[in-house]
Structure 1
Amino acid sequence: MASRKVVALPVDTIAEYAARHPKAPHLHFSYGTAGFRTLGVVLDSVLFRVGILAALRSKRLDGKTIGVMITASHNPEEDNGVKLVDPRGEMLEAAWENHATTLANASNEEFLDVLRQFVQTARIDLSKPSRVVYGRDTRPTGEGLVQALRDGLAAIGAEGRDAGITTTPIVHYLVKAINTKGTKQEYGEDSEEGYFEKMSEAFRKLVSGRARIPQLIVDCANGVGAPIVKKMTEYLGETLPIVLVNTAIDTPGALNHNCGADFVKTRQTLPPSLHGMMKPGQRACSFDGDADRLMYYFIDERGYFAMLDGDKIAALVAAFIVDLARLAGLADKVKVGVVQTAYANGASTKYLSERLPVRCVPTGVKHLHHAAEQFDIGVYFEANGHGTVLFSPSTIERLETHEPSTPAQSTALKHLNNLVQLINQTVGDALSDMLLVEVVLAHKAYSAIEWNSLYSDLPNRLVKVYVPNRNVFKTEDAERRLVSPAGLQPKIEELARRYDGGRSFVRPSGTEDVVRVYSEAVLRSQADELAFRVAGLVYDEAGGDLNRRPKEFL
């Protein structure tokens, strides 16, 4: 039997490249839910090391393609970040988040030793091939960071594929499409064109025979969504008339500034650029900077702003899928469920719980995605507009092979199979989710006003409290209850009981030294008051700075 060829780490080559990307000794980086994220100008060394890590991840998985996306999503333009994508288009395995943090923080002198140790402990066969596909958003620091990533790939001899300036969801799509090519689970053509063709064809089939869809305004956050949506409109033609706004991707400082999904969600108002554009009842939606979040909204007859956030999207989509499963004769064979976090509006949870199973999990996409995989069809959306629908492999096979017994069942089954093609199941995708919403509205013949009337949101408030050490705050019950600091949770509950419909919870941020306070009540004034009184408790407990950056107390 032939012995396995032993390949050594190319330390001299890595050292040569590493010298071009030194780490500043005073900086510390942490790989969280969103990957690494901080000021773009300090990420050079991180991107170089991520290139090496991505290549090693690929080798560890027998040459499967790994994805890398350079983005800071909804953050201000001066920020940037990077995250890795595993072979099925899912987020990086949790254990490797720690490896990423360790490698990113190794001193220049210790880096090679840390790398050697990692290769040994992770049992990485260096003779295996390594393949990485990477993309970036429109941030000005992106180009330099891509070069640092390429140097990391070159240092270890990995094969790189540049997806260019594109959205986060397209990178996730490409990873899955590349890795499933030629298999029974083939996801689609592994190109941007394949992404457009797959979704647009499914959309056309799903809205065929429906009333003409009214014009939709799309706020692109002056980010990468602008060119991507523009390309999609060429594939959609007249099936979905779209007006693009906030498309200034080359204007310095414009990205996510007074626009985008995060602006709409936190300010609960129109982007200023849309004032005067919208007629009462007209639908509009906002993407974020990398096009993985979606927020819908409209102006009512009185001129009031009405927001249709991730909770409203989940309610609309989940009810539609449940109806289709029933009409297809699969109600007793396909279990549909919804996954939410503590940030979900209480009214949405009540509405959904009366119709299908609902699970609450800790904040973070990886928790939602994993829980949604436990259902035959799992719908998950965070209130911030990030979410998707997952069809289990067995469910996809069932939908493809099920024999309908009536024409109505046949039609519903076709719709479900087309939804499988329309929905980007690898990750939340603003463009895919937008098309999904438009399909449901077309089938239900709902206006934005009728959609909004499914249930009435409880007024809510989200407040940040800056604290010296967020790690002293520990939670349980899907982050809905504090267990530390001791004695604080009973005080929060006592306050909440004073308000009609009062609910409040406190959780530490996963990315910055703040504690987030969320509160609900029947009246807006009471939701605000409860939030700030609970924030006061946190401030007293932790010695926080309640006056720091007050513009973020949104």
Structure 2
Amino acid sequence: MLPRNSHVRSQNSSRALQVEMDFEAVAKYSKLHAKPPGLTLQYGTAGFRTKAEDLDHTMFCMGLLAVLRSKKKKSTIGVMVTASHNPEEDNGVKLIDPLGEMLAPIWEEHATHLANAEEHELQGVLTDICQKEAVDLQQEAFIVIGRDTRSSSKKLSQSVIDGVSALGGQYQDYGLVTTPQLHYMVCCRNTHGSYGTATVEGYYQKLSKAFVELTMQATSQRDGHICLKVDCANGIGALKLKEMERYLPSCFVIHFSNDGTKGELNHQCGADFVKVHQKPPVGLEMKPGERCCSFDGDADRIVYYYNDPAGHFHLLDGDKIATLISTFLKELLVKAGQTLSFAVIQTAYANGSSTRYLEETMKVPVHCAKTGVKHLHHKAQEFDIGVYFEANGHGTVLFSKAAEQKIRYQAKEEKNNQKREAAKMLENTIDLINQTIGDAVSDMLVIEAILVLKNLTVQQWDSMYTDLPSRQLKVKVADRRVIDTTDAERRAVTPPGLQERIDELTQRFKLARAFVRPSGTEDIVRVYAEADTQENADKLAHEVSLAVYHIAGGVGEQPKAVV
């Protein structure tokens, strides 16, 4: 028999692909999920997000893509229907990779191509993805699906299920879950239970057990009483935290506000509102010194805050959280005698005071990554222990497998009592942290455990360092692509002269720093400035905004001074 040439092989593989993929089923289902005329979407860090009424076709396509990704990775893949801190009328979707991490960048491109394909183009795009990624269509696929509490989420998750079913994938619909809970489920399934049990109850049991064991090691628990006011943004976090309450010790008292019984999702409440507006959410009464926190709509972000006796509002954002957690971990590592590589990962938006405190006082290495959780996550993976938080309150701690094994072995076998106790606390901290993604519930429990163990009030935590006053502004430009950045977005490469002007302006103020970066979604440039006083931070931000306007093609009215 003569050997077949590559051209014939290519034709045959294409025919085989069409036989194996049920394009009739795809065509039949796709007619039920028509693409809105003219709609173009881009898969970003947060997946797809837009008005809920426009997402039916996109959700169907993400069900299709999840099946192909599952077949490619020979693993369970997650699909979460949520728009996080966006308004109620929006929705969105993102895919979750095998260990709970975000979708691989090349598959983000596939997601964009598939979502924007017209009905008659779907077959070609699906075939193209399969060929480029060498997807084995004989491989089984399993998808887990979750959704938030938006009124549109149930219908849209059914569109995902239709996509999964069209390509013969198996699925489990977890229904109403927080985004971090679905990430947890994916990781549990793909680690065959070693990370935890892939149920909501398994999640509650793992975290609550670690919390109880960790706080039992406190030498002075005040009166052992924990009281916390939690703003749940009228989102899924309220439902799930209420379910979890019965797993927590009775001394942990949670007072819920914006729990979804009245009020609109993310409206004047939630972590994003509190961070941006620097004030408490509606519906939460604060007495001086009371410890309060806010989740965002899908419970993957958290910020803390309190009022001082003079009635001034104090925000403890992602920088403060990272500092508290990394200080705690550093102290335990020293006590345990562990020589593991350890670092805190920040973005350019991290307050300069937090960076100085970590580097100069705590002697903790700090690295800067580009804005976006996926960049922080990847950088954190370079260390045995990597702590990362965005200033907005999204973050977690990653432990390498080697570090985890060393800590667990020491917690069990160490002969020195002090070292063994420190290792045991590290072990419980590992189990308390959701390493797959920022998790408001998990982060809250970690913070509360540390405050108990270190016998700290929220004011004492806040006083570790004082934030430099800062200001963020936006400048409309004709084309955001004229700005290119380097050094983890801290310096502008183009247009010529812009960075030199920013440097010149920064030198006029004490403890000053400023940078600009283009938005990922619209033609605006984001400006950040900090200085020794709020007045100087405001002046610097305004001057830099004017520089952007004049050098980078500003449109409309030129920026006005901050009032």
Asked if Structure 1 and Structure 2 have the same fold, meaning a TM-score greater than 0.5 normalized by the shorter chain, the answer is: yes
User: How many residue pairs were aligned?
Assistant: 539
- Counterparts in 2 of 1:549 and 1:145: CA distance versus 1, 3 Å: farther
Matched, 1:104 2:104: no
Say which SS state the counterpart of residue 436 (structure 1) adopts: helix
- CA shift for structure 1 position 239: 3.5
Letter in 2 for 1:364: G
Q: Paired residue for 2:309?
A: 301
TM-score by length of 1: 0.94
How far does the alpha carbon of each residue in 1:37-70 deviate from its partner, in whole angstroms, 9 at most, with x for none?
11111111111100000000000112x1000111
CA contact (8 A) 1:199 1:422 kept: yes
- CA shift for structure 1 position 543: 4.1
**Bigger Cα Rg:** 2
Q: Paired residue for 2:4?
A: none
Q: Which of 154, 169, 175 is 2:186 aligned to?
A: 175
TM-score by length of 2: 0.93
**Structure 1 residues not aligned, in runs of 5+:** none
Letter in 1 for 2:497: G
Letter in 1 for 2:252: L
Matched, 1:218 2:230: yes
**Structure 2 residues not aligned, in runs of 5+:** 1-12
Say which SS state the counterpart of residue 249 (structure 2) adopts: helix
- CA shift for structure 1 position 116: 1.4
Q: Percent identity?
A: 51
Q: Paired residue for 2:276?
A: 266
CA contact (8 A) 2:479 2:553 kept: no
Matched, 1:144 2:150: no
Deviates more, 1:44-53 or 1:469-478: 469-478
Q: Which of 463, 472, 475 is 2:473 aligned to?
A: 463
Q: Which of 26, 38, 43 is 1:31 aligned to?
A: 43
CA contact (8 A) 2:212 2:249 kept: no
Matched, 1:503 2:501: no
- Counterparts in 2 of 1:467 and 1:138: CA distance versus 1, 3 Å: farther
Q: Paired residue for 2:9?
A: none
Mapped to 2, the partners of 1:171 and 1:441 lie a distance apart of 28
Mapped to 2, the partners of 1:239 and 1:200 lie a distance apart of 13
Q: Paired residue for 1:417?
A: 427
Mapped to 2, the partners of 1:214 and 1:90 lie a distance apart of 32
Matched, 1:513 2:552: no
Mapped to 1, the partners of 2:124 and 2:249 lie a distance apart of 56
Q: Which of 36, 45, 52 is 2:64 aligned to?
A: 52
Matches within 5 A, 1:320-399: 320-330=328-338, 333-354=339-360, 355-399=363-407
- CA shift for structure 1 position 340: 0.3
CA contact (8 A) 2:475 2:559 kept: no
Letter in 2 for 1:459: P
Letter in 1 for 2:399: F
- CA shift for structure 1 position 466: 2.9
- CA shift for structure 1 position 271: 1.2
How far does the alpha carbon of each residue in 1:372-421 deviate from its partner, in whole angstroms, 9 at most, with x for none?
11111110001000000011100111111123232111211111110111
- Counterparts in 2 of 1:250 and 1:124: CA distance versus 1, 3 Å: farther
Matched, 1:206 2:241: no
Say which SS state the counterpart of residue 73 (structure 1) adopts: coil
Say which SS state the counterpart of residue 330 (structure 2) adopts: helix
Say which SS state the counterpart of residue 288 (structure 2) adopts: coil
Deviates more, 1:406-415 or 1:380-389: 406-415
Q: Paired residue for 1:283?
A: 291
- CA shift for structure 1 position 249: 5.5
- CA shift for structure 1 position 471: 2.0
Mapped to 1, the partners of 2:507 and 2:126 lie a distance apart of 53
Mapped to 2, the partners of 1:139 and 1:537 lie a distance apart of 41
Letter in 1 for 2:178: T
Matched, 1:195 2:203: yes
How far does the alpha carbon of each residue in 1:485-533 deviate from its partner, in whole angstroms, 9 at most, with x for none?
2211111111111111121100012233321111101100111121122
Deviates more, 1:302-311 or 1:115-124: 115-124
Q: Which of 121, 131, 142 is 2:142 aligned to?
A: 131
CA RMSD of aligned residues (A): 1.8
Mapped to 2, the partners of 1:283 and 1:373 lie a distance apart of 32
Q: Paired residue for 2:252?
A: 240
Deviates more, 1:508-517 or 1:75-84: 508-517
Say which SS state the counterpart of residue 272 (structure 1) adopts: coil
Mapped to 1, the partners of 2:231 and 2:522 lie a distance apart of 27
- Counterparts in 2 of 1:258 and 1:547: CA distance versus 1, 3 Å: farther
